[in-house]
Amino acid sequence: HLKKIAAQAKEQGMILLKGVEVFPWFWNYGKFPALVLDGLQHHFVVYDVEDPKVFEDMPARRHITVSPEPIPDAAPWQRWVDYMLAHGAIVHAAHVEEGEDMWIGPVHGSCPPPIENLHRLQGLTGFAIFPSGWREKAGGPGGLWDTTLVEYLMGMREWPMWAHADADYHCKGSLAIATSLLYMKEFSLAEVKRCLREGRVVSLQGDAFQDTYVAEWWVADSEEPEELVMLGQEVTLKGTPVIRFALDHPVAGLKIKLVRNGKVIARVEGSELTYRDAELGRRKEPAYYRVEVLS
Q: Minimal CA–CA distance to 202: which of 181, 171, 228?
A: 181
How far is it, in rounded angstroms, from Cα 148 to Cα 46?
Answer: 20
Say if residue 218 is exposed, middle or buried (CB neighbours under 10 Å; 0-12, 13-18, 19+). buried
Q: Where are any strands of DSSP class E within the chain?
A: 19-22, 27-28, 36-38, 44-47, 90-93, 100-104, 107-111, 126-130, 162-165, 179-182, 201-204, 214-220, 242-247, 255-260, 263-269, 272-276, 289-294
Give the pLDDT score at 260. Answer: 98
Give the pLDDT score at 135. Answer: 86
Beta-strand relationship, 19-22 and 201-204: unpaired
For residue 272, the number of C-alpha atoms closer than 13 Å in the C-beta half-sphere is 10
How far is it, in rounded angstroms, from Cα 25 to Cα 39?
Answer: 6
| Edge-to-edge strand ranges of the sheet holding 214-220 | 214-220, 242-247, 272-276
List, for the chain, all residue ranges whose pLDDT scores fall below the cut of 50. none
DSSP state of 90: E
Q: For 241-289, how does the pLDDT look when each residue is reduced to its tens digit (9 = 90+)?
A: 999 999 999 999 999 999 999 999 999 999 999 999 999 988 889 999 9
Buried b (16+ CB within 10 A) or exposed e, 9-36: eeeeeeeeeebeebbbbbbbebeeeebe
Residues 6+ apart with CB under 8 A from 258: 243, 245, 264, 265, 266, 267, 273, 275, 289, 291
How far is it, in rounded angstroms, from Cα 290 to Cα 295?
Answer: 17
Q: Are 163 and 129 in contact (CB under 8 A)?
A: yes
Give the pLDDT score at 9. Answer: 76
Give the pLDDT score at 134. Answer: 86
Sign of CA dihedral 151, 153, 158, 162: positive
Q: Are 94 and 44 in contact (CB under 8 A)?
A: yes
Phi, psi at 271, each rounded to 5°: -110, 10
Query: pTM of the entire structure?
Result: 0.91
Q: For 67-102, how does the pLDDT look when each residue is reduced to its tens digit (9 = 90+)?
A: 999 999 999 999 999 999 999 999 999 989 988 898
Say if residue 46 is exposed, middle or buried (CB neighbours under 10 Å; 0-12, 13-18, 19+). buried
